Amino acid sequence: MSKDNTELKPWGHFTVLADEADHKIKRIVVHPGHRLSLQRHTRRAEHWHAISGQALVIREEEEIAFSAGQSMDIPQGAWHRVQNEEDSPFVFIEVQTGAYFGEDDIERCEDDYGRV
């Protein structure tokens, strides 16, 4: 993680805005044509608020159009993914709640970048 709490990823980057005992908040940027892994978390739930751009969200069996001004919840244990099929970055805020917020609480089912 860099000095400003930003971590580069193959799909874009995220910046940690708050990291407290009872929650963690990230600003996430997904580059055009990229997507996060299809993943789930066993120890946290997430609430997302779209800031700019448009994306397609996979949440369990649903495909949801997600754009600026909209919010959604990702329940603990639900398979999910964000994919940006647009020509501009997709930016959203993620609020994590639960028992643990470490990056190792990610179980990946599919990943475009070969991560496990």
Least Cα distance to 89 among 59, 51, 38 occurs for 51
Choices 3.40.1180.10, 3.40.50.620, 2.60.120.10, 2.60.40.2230: CATH for 6-110: 2.60.120.10
pLDDT value at residue 115: 86
Six-digit token string for 68: 């600026």
Q: What is the pLDDT along the chain (116 residues), one digit of tens a residue?
A: 666 899 999 999 999 999 999 999 999 999 999 999 999 999 999 999 999 999 999 999 999 999 999 999 999 999 999 999 999 999 999 999 999 999 999 999 999 998 87
Give the residue extent of every domain in the chain: 6-110
DSSP 46-66: EEEEEEESEEEEEETTEEEEE
The angle at the Cα of 34, spanning 73 to 9, to the nearest 5 degrees, equals 85
